[in-house]
Amino acid sequence: MLRTLWDTTAKRILWSILAIAALGAFAYAGYTMYNYKKMTREWYQPLTEGAQPEPLIQSSELPPGQGAPDPAQGQMEPSLSSILSTKPPQEIYTKPTPMSPFTMLLIGVDSREGERARSDTMILATVNPAEQRAYLLSIPRDSYMEIPGHGRDKVNHAMAFGGPALLKSTLENFFSIKINRYMRIDFDGFRKVVDELGGVEVNVKKRMKYTDPSDHTYIDLKPGVQTLNGDQALDYARYRKSDFGHEDSDYERIRRQQEIIKALANKGDTMQAFLKAFKLMEIMGKHIKTDLKEEELSSLLVTYYDPEHNHIETETLQGADERIWHHGIKGWYFLVPKAERTRIQEKIKAVKTTPAANTSSTEKTSSTEKTAQDSPATKNTSPNQPTSPSPATP
């Protein structure tokens, strides 16, 4: 009898532990969803106030109740209890018809106190969710383009002149394409994310040292494999001028930026990232602005969740650094030939319409290395000649 009583008590204890664990997991999932929704609503910012971008998911594909609340219609921010009762994104967005292909402008912004924001990093991302395919084109910031209302100038000046909206229209006109979405992240947010993830490991291939007290720049990195904190990772990605005389080309800087992005992506699926998910969402909510809607972000997360089935290509816009007269000053500018603009148009169109299975493995794995080594800018400049000075803020 004592044995029977013991077995019954043990079973009750076991079921109680399992029930508590299940409730804890359920509450954790609900709180995660709550923070995710809060983050996406904090960073949602259309380029034009009050305007809504065209949908990338047809309304018939959305489950009831999805989308940001509209206070004008009496809709309020959902409570934690209401979110606990909703389905997770995986159940909602595993659909035969994913998002439409689209092109998005990714902007890394250097915002300093007392100065206008400058676009230090610009990437055109063309995404085909149905094929789990993405094409990332890095754009050198010295690229010489027509900026609407301001004449021809370096493309990164468009950000200072008119923010993301002007930069978007500049690139649309230059490539004769439509950009459907944008995402902007400031460097302070980048630093905080890297620090929260415990740094990123990179192989610094040479001594990097540059000092400029006027803007509080103090870069000093030694060669070798090492884990960089947020400040160091940003220094590594942005390094160009040198105290030793030789300046890096924009291609070298872009290659390092792509290296840091890949290192961060590898950190994203670690246990450390999982355990710090709430803090990371809090940081991103404060430092990212985009016009991607909540349901679109959820769909993309589900679509590209498994890296083994993703087809992602990286490339850098081709051209050559040349000294030309501009506003009475002869300076370095990155000139892009018409044939390259046409090639990019065709590439973007192909990514949106061609199945990923038709993309060769060589094209997918070597594009970044090819642009860094074989670009015209790399071939046509002498070792002792600066390829392009850091542009002054207009």
pLDDT, position 176: 96
Q: Around Cβ 105, how many Cβ atoms within 10 Å?
A: 23
Query: Does pLDDT of 22 surpass 70?
Result: no
31 part of a folded domain:
no
* Per-residue pLDDT band at 249 (split at 50, 70, 90): confident
Distance CA 15, CA 8 (A): 11
Q: Is residue 266 part of a domain?
A: yes
Residue 142, in any domain of the structure:
yes
CB of 283 closer than 8 Å to CB of 189? yes
What is the domain-level CATH number for residue 110?
3.40.630.190
**Per-residue pLDDT tens digits for 306-348:** 767 788 898 999 999 999 998 888 888 999 999 999 999 999 9
Q: What does 359-374 look like in DSSP terms, one character per residue?
A: S-HHHHHHHHHHHHHH
Look at residues 62, 65, 128, 66 and name the one whose alpha carbon lies nearest to residue 95.
Answer: 62
Residue 28 domain flag: no
Q: What percent of the chain has pLDDT over 70?
A: 64
Residue 199 covered by a domain = yes
Predicted local confidence at residue 36, as pLDDT: 67
Highest mean predicted confidence (pLDDT) among 3-7, 268-272, 302-306: 302-306
Q: Where are the alpha helices (DSSP H) in the chain?
A: 2-43, 80-84, 89-93, 157-175, 187-196, 230-238, 250-268, 271-275, 277-287, 294-303, 338-353, 361-374, 376-379
The answer to whether position 321 is within a domain reads yes
Domain membership flag for residue 394: no
Q: How far is CA 48 from CA 5, 53, 85, 163, in A?
A: 70, 9, 34, 11
Q: Is residue 69 part of a domain?
A: no
Alpha-carbon distance of 210 to 218, in angstroms, equals 6
Global confidence as pTM = 0.72
Running DSSP on this structure, what letter comes out for residue 242?
-
Which of 377, 121, 388 has the alpha carbon at shortest distance from 246?
388
Q: How many domains does the chain have?
A: 1
* pLDDT category of residue 68 using cuts at 50, 70 and 90: very low
**What is the model's pLDDT at position 35?**
64
Range of the structural domain that residue 271 is part of: 43-47+81-379
